[in-house]
Structures are given as structure tokens and as C-alpha cells.
Amino acid sequence: MSIFKKKELKVFLWPFIITLFGVSFITHIYSYFNTEEINLLITGCYENGGEVILEIHNNFTSSYSFECRSK
């Protein structure tokens, strides 16, 4: 006799897979939009003749600190 019947395993497995997919999707979207925002900030800083100071705190989510100093 198995520990988990097939139906019990499905009841546990599907919510786990959906949650894992959801967290992965949200993390990817968050990282994508942070990267786009960083690119816009850098472009704007260079167009205004500034010097970019960028520190990436987390490569996975692209959380960052940004500063544009005048030259």
C-alpha cells in the first residue's frame, strides 16, 4: 500500500506547482521592469550630461540604488 494515493498526491501537487509558477512569474516580471527602469534612468542621465552611479543589490530581482551626478 502506498503512502499517497494518486488522488491525494494530485491534490497536494497541483497547488504546489501553481504557487511555484506564480512566484517564478512575479519574480521574473519584477526583474524585467526593474531592468527597463534602470535602462531609462541611465539613458536620461547621459542625455543630461550626468555621471551614472548604479549599485545592484540583488542580481536575481535587479533591486538597485541609482544616482546621477552632474559632471
* 63 CB-near residues (< 8 Å, 6+ apart): 34, 56, 57
DSSP 26-67: HHHHHHHHHHHHHHHHHHHHHHTTEEEEEEEEETTTTEEEEE
User: Please, what is the Cα angle at 35 between 33 and 36, to 5 degrees?
Assistant: 65
Taking the chain (71 residues) in consecutive chunks of 10 residues, what is each chunk's mean pLDDT? 65 90 95 93 96 91 90 78
Rounded CA separation 68/48 (Å): 9
pTM: 0.72
pLDDT for position 58: 85
- The pLDDT value recorded for residue 3 is 57
**pLDDT for 1:** 47
